Amino acid sequence: MREGQEHALRREAAAPRSSSRLRIMSEAAGEVLRRLFAEKMPADRTLGDFFRTHRQCGSRDRAAISRGVYALLRYWGWWRRIFDRKLLVEVESGSGGLYHREVRSLLWAALFTEGGYDPEELERFRGELELPRPSSGDSILDRGRNLFRAWGVERMPGFADLIPEALRDALPDEEGFRERFSEGLSRRPPLWLRMQKEPEAALAELKRSGAAWEEHPVLKDAVAVTGRLDLRGLESFRCGRIEVQDLASQCIGRIAAPRKGERWFDPCAGAGGKTLQLASLMEGKGTVAAGDVRESALEELRQRVRRAGFQNVTCRLHDGHPHRGMHSCDGVLVDAPCSGSGVWRRSPGNQWHLTPEAVEEFARRQLEILRHFSSVVRPGGTLVYATCSVFPRENEEVVRAFLVAEPQFVLDPFASPLEPGRMMPGMMRISPADGDTMFAARMRRRAE
């Protein structure tokens, strides 16, 4: 049999599976949209629930379906231009939804716009829907605009449309930031890993995996994975040599700069990515006390601590205040609950149910949390405040209000973890080209 005939037979055999995958993808997308707007449920949680009830989906199917759903949400600010006002209000209020064909058409449009999807499968998908074929383009914006032309939409999309209009003025107004940030929302982020222990063995296994990856040129132990990787299949992940942690998040531990033998407190630990980094930077010497108001998050952290084999991490539930009789600490890291605007690239869709009023409430709560837990910093000790928000209202303004209310603390300058030799004046917006956006402030309690 000739090579061309073999290829044709493989394509025909793959078509039914492809059609089934796209059918399930559109079912998942419809459910994600419904819960996003009706319940403010993040897409990852809805997809997790969806895959638990669709166990016939293998790992490749789950990856493809997730990619399609996230792409649809990533460009939601463009698709809203296509809907009439009545339909848009129904969808975004959770009172109505899109028809099955409309969801499938948006999925196809999103995959076409993002680029890099299997071209044969994408063309088969387009043919099934009988959609016009737009011209291709060299960039995401080119493809998006060519798609709008093919669909007869006159007003061309721009990157600023990926952010709700009500929130745009709340972004930092420093030169070029808004443009860089909104453009970044149009691209899938890489998977960032942190080499937690035995880096030589971890990197050797990554090389054997065949995945595309590269080490960060400055930040020690940070690795970006740009290709497909079966993370759970790696022994280095199962035994805690590797942890998933975004590049911006890894900068927070470097800014905190804990020393061996110190006592640190992480009261908003969540699942503990930064807790584990603090323990690793301390080389297992001293203590990291992790706390949270959610027992479920702490249980996940306990599992990660056991996997990594750390003996210097303790986990304890609290009620939003330091435990009575808690010893003073050399350092406290307050990784405060926030709007999550800095991780919209990783969690597309979440920006469409955030309001300016919610940002104000986050800022009020953040100042309260910071004041509560700063009380356990010893004289001369370090207090680090961090968020994954881009809004100054949750960042610089909270820090300034805190310093006025608690004059025993002062900003503590530190070296930028991403730019060797550059000193930061105690505050830093961490916005790497390939990663989330975070904010960090380091303060020191005056010695008494």
Closest CA to 202 of 186, 182, 226, 225: 225
pLDDT at res. 17: 55
- Which of these ranges, 9-13, 184-188, 201-205, 215-219, has the smallest mean pLDDT? 9-13
Task: Assign 13 a pLDDT band (cuts: 50, 70, 90).
Answer: very low
What are the pLDDT digits (tens) for 100-149? 899 999 999 999 999 988 888 899 889 989 999 999 999 999 999 999 99
| Residue 128: burial class (beta carbons within 10 Å; 0-12, 13-18, 19+) | middle
The share of the chain scoring above pLDDT 90, in percent, equals 79
The H or E element containing residue 143 is helix 140-150
pLDDT at res. 88: 93
Whether 325 has a pLDDT exceeding 80, the answer reads no
Whether 14 has a pLDDT exceeding 70, the answer reads no
Residue for token pair 């942890």: 243
What are the pLDDT digits (tens) for 347-396? 999 999 999 999 999 999 999 999 999 999 999 999 999 999 999 999 99
pLDDT at res. 18: 60
The CA distances from residue 448 to 9, 328, 377, 379, 443, in Å, are 79, 14, 12, 6, 15
Helix (H/G/I), strand (E/B), else coil: 279: helix
Q: Is 447 left (phi over 0), alpha (psi -120 to 50) or beta?
A: beta
What are the backbone angles phi and psi of residue 168, rounded to the nearest 5°? Answer: -65, -40
pLDDT at res. 230: 87
Which is it for the CA torsion 186, 187, 188, 192, positive or negative? Answer: negative
Whether 192 has a pLDDT exceeding 80, the answer reads yes
pLDDT at res. 320: 86
Residue for token pair 């990594």: 308
List CB contacts of 163: < 8 A, sequence separation 6 or more.
77, 171, 181, 182, 185, 351
What are the backbone angles phi and psi of residue 422, rounded to the nearest 5°? Answer: -95, 125
pLDDT at res. 60: 84
Mean pLDDT of 146-161: 95
Mean pLDDT of 181-186: 96
What are the pLDDT digits (tens) for 212-270? 999 999 998 999 998 888 888 999 999 999 999 999 999 999 999 999 999 999 999 99
Task: Assign 23 a pLDDT band (cuts: 50, 70, 90).
Answer: confident
- For the question of whether the overall pTM of this predicted structure is more than 0.75, the answer is yes
What average pLDDT is seen over the chain? 92
